[in-house]
Structure 1
Amino acid sequence: MSITNSQSGTNVHEIADGIYRINTPLAIDGAGGFSFNQYLIADDEPLLFHTGPRKMFPLVREALASVLPIEKLRYIAFSHVEADECGSLNEWLGAAPQSVPVCGTVAAMVSIGDLADRAPRALADGERLALGRHAVRWLDAPHLPHGWDCGFLTEDLTATLLCGDLFTQPGADLPAMTEADILGPSEAFRHAMDYFAHAQNSRELLEKLAATKPTTLACMHGSAWRGDGAQLLRALAGALST
């Protein structure tokens, strides 16, 4: 792990071949802290998943620059429209002149076509985007956990699921990668502060994600996780149905 900003504690860790977790811990009085993660896929056409909030842009930019030049960034992707997902999108578009937003067709239609300074690359459900050695596929997942426009990216080479707000774990001082239980902490957090839409087809959507057989889950908040991702996604489906 490399600390890129000693004041904030922002750090970079390679969680899979060519995939880097950029993490900024945040102290919250009485809440045990929280963290924000972005994921950079370093390749011929690099992709950043999650931008971080607008006010966090200098920290994330500094961290990304420790891996590759900012101007090389080609794609800026996110799960759904929310401040920590795409709040600094236009700052990134300004810093990386070749870059374009990447999102699902719903987000492009209802939000990003207007909010972004450049037109988005809208991906249909199951559509593949080649980056070089790596390639990602977009998976529509409306309202899982929230947002009509929600979806995720799965990366073929490393079997990594960029799973956004699924398995959100509280805490600021967590390992970059873990094989320990993350369902328990994430479920405790969900019960305390329920951010799931509880759509009727949540189990079906989680099975769709499980079918990709991920071995790394790149979580937006907390540790990334390594193991049998399909089993863990099905366990989440079970927890949501009780």
Structure 2
Amino acid sequence: MQYVNLSNDIYFLGYNDRRTHLFENIWPIPNGISYNSYLIVDDKIALIDTVERSFFDEYLDNIEEIIGDRKIDYLVINHMEPDHSGALKSIMQRYPEVTLVGNKKTFAFVESFYKEPENVHLVHDGSVLELGKHRLQFQTIPMVHWPETMVTYEETNKILFSGDAFGSYGTLDGGVFDDEINLDFYEVEVMRYFTNIVGKYCPHTQRAIKKLAPLDIKMIAATHGPVWRSDLDWVLTRYNKWSSYDLDKGVVIVYGSMYGNTQKMAEVIARRLAERGIKNIRVYDASKTHASYIINDIFKYKGFIVGSPAYNNSMFPNVEILLSTIEHMAPKDHYLGIFGNFLWNGGGVKNLKVFAEKIKWELVYDPIEEKGAMKKDNKEQLCKLADAMADKLMAE
């Protein structure tokens, strides 16, 4: 990708990754992802974050095209994750006099990933770095989403270099700024990025939003996805909603099923919810849909109903993996329903109860367990489970 001006002497250096299938080797990125770095050319030259190492050759070519034979004076490290620090060692080799700018926790990560840094400039909340006509102010936002994470605020143009915060999955297909693209495409990708990567740390995200609120921000330049310059509220209001667990009226139903009996139970629940006026219903087969997409909807909707057959005296494995991921992400304030199936021995519902105890969501109805094919009595119980969920949601 070509470099793009954010202002006369501030440059976006972004590179599209259309080859990687799984971000962090976990999360599907069928629409790819961009890695964004930024360059400020002044009396002193500052590079803000780097890019994934496979893009280094083009990255260095772009930098040299802009600054020629001048040296990079500062490398600001907002976040040390290797998709952003991947070119750090190479930059240090190419510009051996460069000074690394970071907080106390940053440099421990530099040593762990690469080597002990020689030239460092330690910053903390409110520190200012003078480049000439540009002043950089630093604020730490720990656990959004690593302990060392910070943001850099450029005071002249009022640009917030936000690291992973306010980022997105999806490549930048020509358009770099929010007013150059159709944001309908990024509606899902921004949220899925948040729920998959940042969502575990919602309280920390809320603290970060409040901490940054006094800054007069005119542009947000994240390390993934578009640069926000025209409608900052589009991304800010969404981050605030998602990180405060402001959930919509709807239900996510997830099941595992070997021969269709547990699926039939899920279909009964879904139909009854629709009859009760619940319009946002998402039904997922845990064996088919990646957890990335299911987690995304769990962060969107208040109700969650999960069903599992017994499998070797335990839960169906794909359901178990999903629930382990949910426990890890720890979303709050949901209503929960449980159902399942067995033939000669239990294990599905029994372990779903364990999940309920761990996650501490409000259980709306007693767990329902069928033996083999669905019977009339249990069909009626499944409808009562759906009614209990609908009652809770309608009372919101």
Which TM-score applies when normalising by structure 2?
0.54
Cα distance between partner residues in 1 of 2:152 and 2:73: 16
- 1:197 CA displacement: 3.6
Answer yes or no: is 1:14 the counterpart of 2:5.
Answer: yes
Gaps of 5+ in 2: 22-28, 246-396
In the alignment, is residue 140 of structure 1 matched against residue 140 of structure 2?
Answer: yes
Alpha-carbon deviations, 1:196-216, whole Å to 9, x = none? 441534212112122212111
Asked if the contact 2:202/2:243 (under 8 Å) is kept, the reply is: no
User: Hey, what's the Cα distance between the residues in 2 that align with 1:232 and 1:171?
Assistant: 15
1:27 corresponding residue in structure 2: 18
User: In the TM superposition, what whole-angstrom CA distance separates every residue of 1:50-99 from its partner, at most 9, and x where no partner exists?
Assistant: 11123322111011112112642101112121112212212111212331
Note closer, same or farther for the CA distance 1:107–1:79 as it changes in structure 2 (3 Å cut): same
> Residues 38 and 183 of structure 1: is their aligned pair in 2 closer, same or farther, counting only changes over 3 Å?
same
Rounded Cα–Cα distance in structure 1 between residues aligned with 2:135 and 2:8: 12
Per the alignment, do residues 200 and 194 of structure 1 end up closer, same or farther by CA in structure 2, a change over 3 Å counting? same
Map of 2:48 onto structure 1: 49
Give the Cα–Cα distance (whole angstroms) in 2 for the partners of residues 222 and 93 of structure 1.
26
2:190 aligns with one of 175, 186, 190: 186
**Higher Cα radius of gyration:** 2
SS of residue matched to 1:226: coil
Q: Indicate conservation of the 8 Å contact 1:107/1:149, yes or no.
A: yes
Greater displacement, 202-211 / 59-68 = 202-211
Q: Following TM superposition, by how much is the alpha carbon of 1:231 offset from its aligned partner in structure 2, in angstroms?
A: 7.8
Cα distance in 2, alignment partners of residues 70 and 129 from structure 1: 23
2:96 counterpart letter in structure 1: P
Structure with the higher helix share, 1 or 2 = 2
SS in 2 for 1:224: coil
Residue 69 of structure 1 aligns with which residue?
Answer: 68
User: Cα deviations across residues 135-186 of structure 1 (Å, max 9, x unaligned)?
Assistant: 1011010011x11111010000000000111222222215121236566641
Comparing 74-83 with 127-136, which one deviates more in the overlay? 74-83
- The alpha-carbon distance between structure 1 residues 231 and 31, as it changes in their structure 2 partners (threshold 3 A), is closer
Matched, 1:219 2:222: yes
TM-score, normalised relative to structure 1: 0.85
Q: Greater relative contact order (Cα 8 A, min sep 6): structure 1 or 2?
A: 1
SS class of match (2:62): helix
**Of residues 194, 203, 207 in structure 2, which corresponds to 1:204?**
207
Question: What is the match of residue 103 of structure 2?
Answer: 104
Q: Give the Å deviation of 1:111.
A: 2.3
Q: Distance in 1 between matches of 2:201 and 2:16?
A: 28
Alignment RMSD: 2.3
Give the whole-Å Cα distance in 2 for the aligned partners of 1:139 and 1:70: 32
Tell me which amino acid in the other structure corresponds to 2:217.
P
Between the aligned partners of 1:34 and 1:154, the Cα distance in structure 2 is 24
Secondary structure of the structure 2 residue equivalent to 1:129: strand
Deviation for aligned residue 1:188: 3.4
Moved over 6 A (4+): none
Distance 2:217 2:187 in 1: 16
Per the alignment, in what secondary structure is the counterpart of residue 61 of structure 2? Answer: helix
Partner SS for 2:44? coil
C-alpha change, 1:120 and 1:204, in structure 2 (3 Å) is same
Conserved? CA contact 1:36–1:221, under 8 Å: yes
Long gaps (5+) in structure 1: 1-9
2:244 equivalent to 1:241: yes
- Contact kept in structure 1, 2:170 and 2:189, CA below 8 Å: no
- Name the amino acid aligned to 1:11: Q
Measured in 2, the distance between the counterparts of 1:133 and 1:159 equals 13
Tell me, in whole angstroms, the C-alpha distance in 2 between the residues paired with 1:149 and 1:196: 17
CA contact (8 A) 2:138 2:150 kept: yes
Number of equivalenced pairs: 230
Q: Counterpart of 1:158?
A: 157
Pair 1:70–1:77, CA change in 2 (3 A): farther
Q: How many percent identity over aligned positions?
A: 21
Counterpart of 2:222, as a letter, is C
